[in-house]
Amino acid sequence: MARPSRVEPGLAEAVEPQTAAMRELSRRAFPEPDVVPDDVPTSIEQVRLERRRQAAATEAAALRRARAERAARKGQATDGVIGRAARASQMGRTA
């Protein structure tokens, strides 16, 4: 057995225009994107392939950055070692 409605008919009629106005404002604020008629949904395999490509590109960029940082650190460490050795030999020569 269905329950009787607790909303008064007059109240429901008053709420309808407000609801319609809010729906219209929502539609304007968040418009549906234009759908191209020839647009076919992308298959899951195409999506996976694109994600793999993006992941591979991200990984390659991270490796390049890590190698560059490592090379920079080695260059700085080498400069420091060479600099100390050169100073030590100069000190020995002048002393």
Q: In which element (H, E) is residue 49 found? A: helix 44-94
Q: What is the mean pLDDT of the chain?
A: 79
Between residues 43 and 57, the one the model is more confident about = 57
Is 0.75 surpassed by the pTM of this model?
no
In total, the chain counts a number of residues equal to 95
Between residues 46 and 35, the one the model is more confident about = 46
7: left (phi over 0), alpha (psi -120 to 50) or beta: beta
Amino acid 56: pLDDT: 96
Residue type, 24: E
- Per-residue pLDDT band for 95 (boundaries 50, 70, 90) equals very low
- What's the mean pLDDT in 47-56? 94
